[in-house]
């Protein structure tokens, strides 16, 4: 049965960044014994921290820099 309501489309996501063992090495960590599970946990924690602390501020600042227009109020 079709509804008269507007059908919501699934949003496309664009990757922001990644992390690798070379990144850890760059800041002085020894990665010889860092397994994929630990790297996955690190990436997840970094994503959480970024979303909680900087994502929204960076998003607005960079969008303005790129001259993306805001909705009119």
From residue 40, how far is each of 7, 21, 28, 43 by CA, in Å?
35, 11, 19, 5
pLDDT digits (tens, 9 = 90+) for 60-72: 999 999 999 999 8
Report the alpha-carbon distance of residue 12 to residue 31 in Å, rounded: 34
In the chain, domain spans: 21-65
Task: Read off the pTM.
Answer: 0.71
For residue 19, give every residue at least 6 positions away whose Cβ sits within 8 Å of its Cβ, in sequence order, or none.
Answer: 39, 42, 43, 46
User: pLDDT tens digits for 43-60?
Assistant: 999 999 999 989 999 999
Q: Say how many C-beta atoms besides its own lie within 10 A of residue 8's C-beta.
A: 6
């Amino acid at each position: 049965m079709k509804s008269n309501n507007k059908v919501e489309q699934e949003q496309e996501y664009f990757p922001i960044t990644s992390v690798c063992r070379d990144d850890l090495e760059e800041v002085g960590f020894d990665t010889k014994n860092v397994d994929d599970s630990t790297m996955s946990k690190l990436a997840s924690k970094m994503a959480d921290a970024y979303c909680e602390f900087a994502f929204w501020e960076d998003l607005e600042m960079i969008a303005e820099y790129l001259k993306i227009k805001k909705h009119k109020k």
